[in-house]
Structure 1
């Protein structure tokens, strides 16, 4: 069998020409072996009807094996010639023939260095795309944080509006004065609580 790697033919046919030839060879061999079994069976049946024959089934089997070996030898020689014809003529794509899917390569030729440059450009573009996606994700996260901060500021402003309304209802029109008043009361309350805590400690010591 041929050992030439026929890559272009394999691309076109979808199988290697050598595989095709091997299957044909095995199919012929199986058919030859089956044919010899049938012939041997017919001879053995004919032998049963011949009462005074000196032939025996074992001698017929030996003769069948010799004839099969003879047929295989001649078949291998004939198949070798047929293989050369098929691989060189039938299953071979001429060098001047270009497959349809490869015509663009013939139209747009490029060198190995150009191909390398193209690969590097593709790699650079992939990095840029990844960076753009990462930047978009970061911007999206920042926008979500700004939205949450905006909502929190709106709640604080609503709270201040409510506090301002409460102060006005109690006769305090200036929100700054209200905070000063609340701070003063909180300081006094803290002082009183400290005095109570000190007196409680003294009582426990006694």
Structure 2
């Protein structure tokens, strides 16, 4: 059987011509074997009606096997000719014939140089697209971050408005002055705490020294 690759024919028929021929060969072989088996059974039935014929079942089987070998040899020779005919005339697409999906290549033929140029341009466009997609994702992330920051600022402004309202209700009109006063008071408290802490450490050190003496 031919092992020549027939890719274009496989694309058109959606099966390999060699596979088709192999299935035909197996099918013929099966039918030939079944036919001789039926012939053998008919001969054996006839022999049962002729008890004095002098031919045993084993001799019939040997004769049938010998005949099967002879017929199979003739069939293989004929099938080789049929295979050649099928591969060259029936299952073969001439080299000057294009499939419908490939006719565009005949209308717009391109050289290898032009194909390479188009391939490089496609790669360049793909790289540009990936870069633009990455930049778009970065911008979307920044916009989302700005949205979160804007929401936090809105909360802070709402809080300031509430504080300003409270200060006005308690007679303090200048909110900035109130925050300045709070900052100065906090700074003084921090200084007082640090001073108390130093005195506490000094007192603890004196007590330790006295105990040691």
Equivalent in the alignment of 1:136: 136
Shift of 1:130: 1.6
Aligned residue number for residue 180 of structure 1: 180
Distance 1:163 1:44, change over 3 A: same
Deviations 1:6-51 (A, max 9, x none): 2222211111222211111111111111111111111111112212
Measured in 2, the distance between the counterparts of 1:200 and 1:74 equals 120
TM-score by length of 2: 0.84
- The equivalent residue for 2:211 is none
| Distance in 2, Cα, partners of 1:43 & 1:29 | 21
Shift of the 65–146 alpha-carbon distance from structure 1 to 2, 3 Å rule, reads: same
Asked if residue 92 in structure 1 is aligned to residue 100 in structure 2, the reply is: no
Alignment correspondent of 1:110: 110
Pairwise CA distance, 1:76: 1.3
Counterpart residue number, 1:26: 26
Is structure 2 residue 77 aligned with structure 1 residue 77?
yes
Q: Report how many residues are paired.
A: 206
Query: How much is the aligned-residue C-alpha RMSD, in angstroms?
Result: 2.2
Unaligned runs of 5+ in 1: none
For the pair 1:155 / 2:155, whether they are aligned, the reply is yes
1:189 counterpart residue number: 189
Give the structure 1 partner of residue 42 of structure 2.
42
Partner of 1:5: 5
2:56 corresponds in structure 1 to 56
Q: Distance in 2 between matches of 1:173 and 1:194?
A: 33
1:193, 1:6 → 2: CA distance?
94
Q: Deviations over 1:149-176 (max 9, x none)?
A: 1122222222333333333333333333
Measured in 2, the distance between the counterparts of 1:45 and 1:27 equals: 27
Cα distance in 1 for partners of 2:159, 2:47 equals 118
Q: What is the TM-score when the length of structure 1 is the normalising length?
A: 0.87
Indicate the residue corresponding to 1:146 in structure 2.
Answer: 146
Shift of 1:101: 1.0
Distance verdict in 2 for CA 1:153–1:46, change over 3 Å: same
Mapped to 1, the partners of 2:56 and 2:33 lie a distance apart of: 21
Instruction: Structure 2: give runs of 5+ residues left out of the alignment.
Output: 208-213
1:167–1:96 CA distance, 2 compared to 1 (3 A): same
Q: Distance in 2 between matches of 1:168 and 1:134?
A: 51
